[in-house]
Amino acid sequence: MFIRIVKMSFSENHIDDFLTNFELNKNKIRNFKGCNLLELYRDKKDSNIFFTYSHWESEADLETYRQSDLFKAVWSKTKPLFNAKPEAWSVDKIASVN
């Protein structure tokens, strides 16, 4: 499994645009080959900051998505809305306690 976390910060006047775009595309992203989980989080202290958390079968699957027309369409609408450079982490799960 390959886990990806992306931190995105938006100007307040662009948040609704981001959320609308995410809502329109979340199922397409989640159903993209190799994507097993997609979640969106909002920071409790700074409501302009969002995180996507996704599980992929492999790094190759994530890269295939990042080269896809779907990603290009989503990103082309998201990128102009940022008020800071997005940050991304690829992480390995060490433990999970339920």
For the chain, state the CA radius of gyration.
Answer: 14
**DSSP letter, residue 25:** H
pTM above 0.85, yes or no: yes
Q: Write the pLDDT tens digit of every residue in 4-54.
A: 999 999 999 999 999 999 999 999 999 999 999 999 999 999 999 999 999
Give the span between the Cα atoms of 41 and 20, in whole angstroms: 15
Question: Residues 6 or more apart from 77 whose CB is under 8 A from it?
Answer: 17, 21
- The residue among 94, 4, 7, 96 whose CA lies nearest residue 58 is 4
pLDDT at residue 70 in the model: 97
Q: HEC string of 34-86?
A: CEEEEEEEECCCCCCEEEEEEEECCHHHHHHHHCCHHHHHHHHHHHHHECCCC
**What tokens appear for 64 in the block?**
């295939």
Average pLDDT over residues 59-72: 97
pLDDT at residue 49 in the model: 98
